[in-house]
Amino acid sequence: MDLGIRGRVALVTGGSRGLGRQSALSLAREGVDVAICARSRETLASADKELRAFGVRTAALQADLSEPGAPVRLVQGVESALGPIDILVNNVGGSLGTADVLKSSEADFQKVFEVNVWAALRLIQLVAPGMQQRRWGRIVNIASIYGREHGGTAPYMAAKASLIAITKHLALTLAKDGVCVNSVAPGSILHAGGGWETFVKTRPKEVVDEFIARNLPMGKFGWPEPIGDTVAFLASERANLIVGACVNVDGGQSHNLF
C-alpha cells in the first residue's frame, strides 16, 4: 500500500531508540524525510545512519525537551535542515522512577508532566499553525494503555491520560484544516534500553513469567515494529478520516472496552 507521504517532512522526538526509532524507520521506509531528536549524540548518530539507508534526507538534533526553550530551537533546526514540518510524532516520555499518588511528590508529578505533556504541547503549538496554513498535517502522540486504564505510576498514568485528552481536543479543532491528530497507546513493549528490558533483566524469572501470564494474552511482550507501522499509517494519506482516535497496539493487553 502506498501511504502517499513520500517527500513529506517528519519530526520524531525521542527518535534515537525504542518506539521513536521504529516510528522514524517506518516513516523513512515510506520516503519521508525524517528529523529525530534525543539527548544522546551516540544513539542519534546510530539511528541517523539507519534512516539514511532509505535514501531520504535526515537530521539528527540533540535536544532535552524538558528544557522550556528546547522546542523552539529544535523546530528551527528541523526547518533549517529539511523544511516545514508536515508530520509531528511526540514520542518522548517516561515514568521517571515515580510511584503511586501518596508516595509521589508534587515535584514528581511536575517532572513527569514536563516530559510527557508539556514538551509535546510546546511542539504542537509551534508546528500546528503552519500545518493549518498549508492545509495538511499529521500529529501522532505516543500515549500508553496506562493513560486509558489503571497501570504504571500515578504521575505517568495521569500524564498519558492528559496527552490523550489533549489529542482529542486538538483533533476536533484542526479537523476542518486538513490536519489529522491521533494518539497511539502501546502496551508493554520490549526493546533495547527500555523499561521492560530492565524489568526482564532485573527481576527473577518467575516474577517475569507471572507478569506475562497475568497481563499479556499473546504470552510475550510486544515489539516496536507494529507501533512504528501504526504511526506511519496514521501519518499517511490513507488515514485522512481518522481524527481524534487513540489506537491501542498492545496484543490484547488492555481491558478497556472503548
DSSP string, 105-134: -HHHHHHHHIIIIIHHHHHHHHHHHHHHHH
Residue 146 designated active-site: no
Rounded Cα distance between 26 and 236, Å, is 11
Name the nearest CA neighbour of 90 among 179, 11, 151.
11
Strand bridging mode 179-186 / 33-38: unpaired
| Cβ atoms of residues 224 and 251 within 8 Å | no
The catalytic position among 109, 156, 221, 233 is 156
C-alpha neighbours within 13 Å on the C-beta side of residue 128: 20
36: which strand partners?
12, 60
Residues that are catalytic: 156
